[in-house]
Amino acid sequence: MTVLGIDPGITRLGYAVIEGSRNAPRLVTSGIIGNPKAEHLERLGLIYNELTALIAAHPLDLVAVEKLYFSKNVRTALTVAEARGIILLTAHRADIKVYECTPQQVKIALTGNGRATKTQVAHMLNASLKFERRPRLDDETDAIAIALTALVSYAHTEARDYTKHKRSS
């Protein structure tokens, strides 16, 4: 199975492609999509274009994305919701199922503790994937964690199949 994990954001969107099985995962690629100097609509276009290119470069079985949780900063929550919309649209257009998870579900899946720290999650990721290079930013680490969570949890849950509502052309 090959999973694209995404930590949604408008300034920095973390992504990671993981392949294999729950017992033998392998990090294929990871990084950040974003241009903090770009205008808002240009950032959304960049997210769409970069995700489309990632999907074209990797035969994916699943896109895993973090669910939105309400923030005290409504403006930030709204812009992240727009990025999530682009992510869901991109997966839909590529006919790829979507797995959604909360930060707590990621922590439980990887550490067994829903209140684990980012350091504890990063330690478990390194133990599972044996990083050749450490992720530079938390957004990238979070995307790797989301992808690995989907890989180990997908068989036990249902993914949202946004593709089944697709119109016939």
Q: Which residues are catalytic?
A: 7, 66, 139
3-state secondary structure of 57: helix
Q: Residue for token digits 């294929």?
A: 28
Amino acid, single-letter form, for residue 124: M
* Alpha carbon distances (Å) from 102 to 5, 48, 87: 13, 22, 16
d(CA 134, CA 129): 11
CB 18 within 8 A of CB 3: yes
Which of 12, 22, 11 minimizes the C-alpha distance to 141? 12
CB 7 within 8 A of CB 137: no
| Cβ contacts of 165 within 8 Å, gap of 6 or more | none
